[in-house]
Amino acid sequence: MTDLFDYDAELRLHNELFRAAARVGSHDRVLDIGCGTGQSTRQAARAAVTGSVVGVDLSAPMLERARRLTDDQGLANVTYQQADAQVHRFPSPQFDLCISRFGVMFFADPVAAFTNIGRALRPGARLVLLVWQDRDRNEWASAIRQSLTGATDTPGGGPGPFSLADPTIARGILAAAGFTDVSFTDVHEPVYYGPDTATALDSMLRLLKYEDLLADLDTETAERARARLRATLAAHETDSGVYFDSRAWIITARRH
């Protein structure tokens, strides 16, 4: 997910459902965790016309792009903060709503992290998260990884894109962190990787994690992996672009 890879385009269908679930009110003070380049932050800001939005992320380059896009769009009720949401000392309870689009699965100690985030929310505040379901329900992850590495096994648990996939685990984490009324809505929409195979391959190889996977291979093995990836992408090319099946949860909860 770099400037060269259009994550917002990839998630267009997910994003519409996430935006609807967030139901940002006109007066809401909103916190966006792991906001990245800030599409969800700006969407919230447009809805919170007399409210405000704070986007938090670890990544300075992402926030730089988020700020640029926010200025370009003339939004004055948004601020961005470079911080680790797990431990950052947010000012005392001030937010009515916390949202995160795929930004909360990377915490080393999720109970501590969500407890910390909860301290920033007023009692009764809403939490609306978009997280991936299991890797084996996410063709973009399983098929692509398999085509690059030949591996059919899936890496174990711990922080990562699939760490909140199991509703029992996610519910337990949120309950232990002081959230109630936890519920899960199945989001079954494809992710989009580009208008055609060549563009999708180019974008994908720029993704750091896939470059990393290839970096350890000798030239011939890396070439074979690239060819397998191209074939996988080609098999998913449709008249309207390259799509992979995916499953996510919209998790909603309330701060106790």
Contact positions toward ligand SAM, by CB under 6 A? Answer: 1, 7, 34-37, 39-40, 56-59, 62, 84-86, 101-103, 106-107
Q: Shortest approach of ligand SAM to residue 197 CB, angstroms? A: 24
- Residue 175 or 207: which CB sits closer to ligand SAM? 207
Count CA atoms closer than 13 A to 187's CA, side-chain side: 29
Q: Shortest approach of ligand SAM to residue 232 CB, angstroms? A: 21
Q: Shortest approach of ligand SAM to residue 75 CB, angstroms? A: 16
Neighbours of 9 (CB within 10 A): 15
- Residue 73 or 221: which CB sits closer to ligand SAM? 73
Neighbours of 65 (CB within 10 A): 16
C-beta of residue 45 within 8 angstroms of C-beta of residue 53 = yes
C-alpha–C-alpha distance, residues 95 and 126, integer Å? 9
Q: Shortest approach of ligand SAM to residue 18 CB, angstroms? A: 9
Q: Shortest approach of ligand SAM to residue 108 CB, angstroms? A: 8
Q: How many residues does the chain have?
A: 256
Cα-based distances in Å from 197 to 144, 188, 217, 238, 239: 13, 23, 23, 10, 11
- Residue 19 or 236: which CB sits closer to ligand SAM? 19
Q: Shortest approach of ligand SAM to residue 230 CB, angstroms? A: 24
- Residue 212 or 216: which CB sits closer to ligand SAM? 212
- Residue 62 or 125: which CB sits closer to ligand SAM? 62
- Residue 62 or 148: which CB sits closer to ligand SAM? 62
- Residue 127 or 225: which CB sits closer to ligand SAM? 127
Q: Shortest approach of ligand SAM to residue 12 CB, angstroms? A: 11
C-alpha–C-alpha distance, residues 205 and 208, integer Å? 8
Among 130, 129, 117, 132, which Cα is nearest to 166's? 132
